[in-house]
Amino acid sequence: MVKFETATPKSKAIYEKAKIDVPFGVHSTYRYSDPYPLYFTRSKGTRLWDVDGNVYTDYNMGFGVLVAGHAHPLVVKAIKEQAAKGTDFGFEWGETPKFARMICERFGVDQLKLANTGAEATMYATRFARSYTGRNKIIKFEGCYHGGNETLIVSVKPSQAKEGDPRAPNAVPSSAGLPEGVYKNTLVAPFNDLAAVEELVRKNSADVAGMILEPIPMNMGFVLPKPGFLEGLRKLADQYGFVLIFDEIKTCGKFYGGMRDCVNVQPDLITLGKAIGGGVPISGIAGKRKIMETIIPGVVSHAGTFNSNPLCVAAGIATLSKVLTKSAMQRATRLSETLAKGYQDIIDDSHLTAQMSQAGLSGAIAFSSKPVTDWRSFQACDTGKWFAYCFAMMNRGIIPAGPSPDEQWTISVVHTKEDVKDHLEAFKEVVGYVKGYKKTAEVVEAI
């Protein structure tokens, strides 16, 4: 920590000024971290420059937004050209249907509605499920995050004191300011426990409108679904007549065609975002025609001044057609696999107590003696070790993942073999500090 603070005095100074006008000095609570958040000036490719002039190779990549890399020239060109023609029309742009067709073909869906953020997309997805079924209750999974949507910001990171029975979790609001009536129709299930989910569905079968989940939860590390789990949810949706929603705000950028490239399960609706815009805010709700065609003006509301904004759509067209190609993403996947294998080899050689998980363009390290399969097992991880690891890596010019233990790395299509080699060399140096971070003050200061 001493090295970090010595290297980042300008960030500290900016923070001291920023927090006068902005709570905690940041405009998203996930950007704050002790002892203060970092502030940056520019980015390019896989590199970030902070206000102190420190250069980092980035594996957070905007929490998964920047699979195309920072400031990709083809995306920048598309934004500049469109900005010169108009930034917003108040009407539909003539090229937007092209983007919609790209989305539908790539992700295997029938129809699409565009929005701006992940929170909007999940809000609309649950609204569409309720309007389609005429029911009220939504099942979500403990530890899964779906943005600031008030229906779903429940049991995201519940404390052990409040979470309740592991097979029948309590619905714990994840923020103050949420009246009970807002989330009274939100039911919480444990991830990767199909029998428990089936019991919850059975008890509420007449009222369940939809079930929403991250098919790979990425806010408790990087949790892979057990074989048969997603398939079992599909069968439950068919049996009880509710809408199965995959929140693919992240996974749509981890696999070329989204989660369907990973498992043979077709949800009824998916939410899309982050990577599809190449670095600009755009999201979508997509799915089966029989559901999407019930979104009728005056009946089911879907509105937004910036929906299908031409700047964002232009960036999206360039991103999907020219940057996030199948071959580019396959190459990035191989780099992600190389990074995961390198981590595992170092873990094994150093006898470090840690778990690795990886699929597509992402993976994560968890400092635990047991695999992380759900929120409860994630709570057993040593987060102190994770922060020691993260700061030590950053002191060596590597942002190894998102800036908290519940995040993962993202390999972009512009990362190189040399980037991955440097990442692993840094981890080799760091592993000893991580193993002993609690033992002496000297070890902590060395980080």
Distance CA 96, CA 86 (A): 14
Checking if the pLDDT of 447 tops 60, the result is no
pLDDT in tens, 418-444: 999 999 999 999 999 998 877 444 444
Report the pLDDT value the prediction gives residue 2, as an integer from 0 to 100. 82
| CB atoms closer than 10 angstroms to residue 227 | 8
Separation in Å, CA 441 to CA 57, 114, 246, 390, 433: 28, 52, 45, 17, 11
pLDDT > 50? residue 260: yes
CB contact at 8 A, 265 and 91:
no
- Catalytic positions are 145, 247, 274
**CA–CA dist 46, 424 (Å, integer):** 16
pLDDT reported for residue 440: 42
Judge contact between 393 and 4, C-beta under 8 A. no
Confidence of residue 445 (pLDDT cuts 50, 70, 90): very low
Mean pLDDT along residues 336-365: 98
Q: pLDDT value at position 33? A: 87
What letter would DSSP give residue 91? S
Whether the ω angle into residue 217 lies within 30 degrees of 0, i.e. cis, is no
Question: pLDDT at residue 266 above 90?
Answer: yes
- The pair of three-digit structure tokens given for residue 361, joined into one six-digit string: 């363009």
Name the average pLDDT for the chain.
95
The answer to whether 358 and 347 have CB atoms below 8 angstroms apart is: no
- pLDDT, tens only, 406-421: 999 999 999 999 999 9
For residue 18, give both structure tokens. 């920023």
**Whole-structure pTM value:** 0.96
The single-letter DSSP state of residue 326 is H
Q: What is the pLDDT of residues 199-247, one digit of tens each?
A: 999 999 999 999 999 999 999 999 999 999 999 999 999 999 999 999 9
Start-to-end Cα distance in the chain: 6
Strands 186-189 and 168-169: unpaired
In the chain, pLDDT over 90 holds for what percent of residues?
Answer: 94
pLDDT of residue 436: 84
Task: Output the pLDDT for position 141.
Answer: 98
Domains with residue ranges and CATH for the chain = 2-67+325-446 (3.90.1150.10), 73-323 (3.40.640.10)
Which residues on adjacent β-strands are paired with residue 285?
Answer: 113, 271
Q: For residue 353, which of 342, 365, 364 has the smallest C-alpha distance?
A: 365
Gap between the Cα atoms of 445 and 447, Å rounded: 5
Please report the pLDDT score of residue 443 as a whole number.
Answer: 42
DSSP codes joined into one string, 281-320: --EEEEE-HHHHTT--TTTS----TTTT-HHHHHHHHHII
Per-residue pLDDT tens digits for 87-129: 999 999 999 999 999 999 999 999 999 999 999 999 999 999 9
Place of tokens 């609570």: 29
45-69 tens-digit pLDDT? 999 999 999 999 999 999 999 999 9
Q: What is the percent of the chain where pLDDT is above 70? A: 98
Residue-wise pLDDT for 284-331, tens only, equals: 999 999 999 999 999 999 999 999 999 999 999 999 999 999 999 999
pLDDT for 437 equals 78
- Contact, 433 vs 388, CB < 8 A? yes
CA 73 to chain centre: 24
Instruction: Label residue 164 left, alpha or beta by phi (over 0 means left) and psi (-120 to 50 means alpha).
Output: left
Q: Are 151 and 182 in contact (CB under 8 A)?
A: yes
What's at 427, amino acid-wise?
F
- Write down the pLDDT at residue 187: 98
What are the tens digits of pLDDT across the range 174-192?
Answer: 999 999 898 999 999 999 9
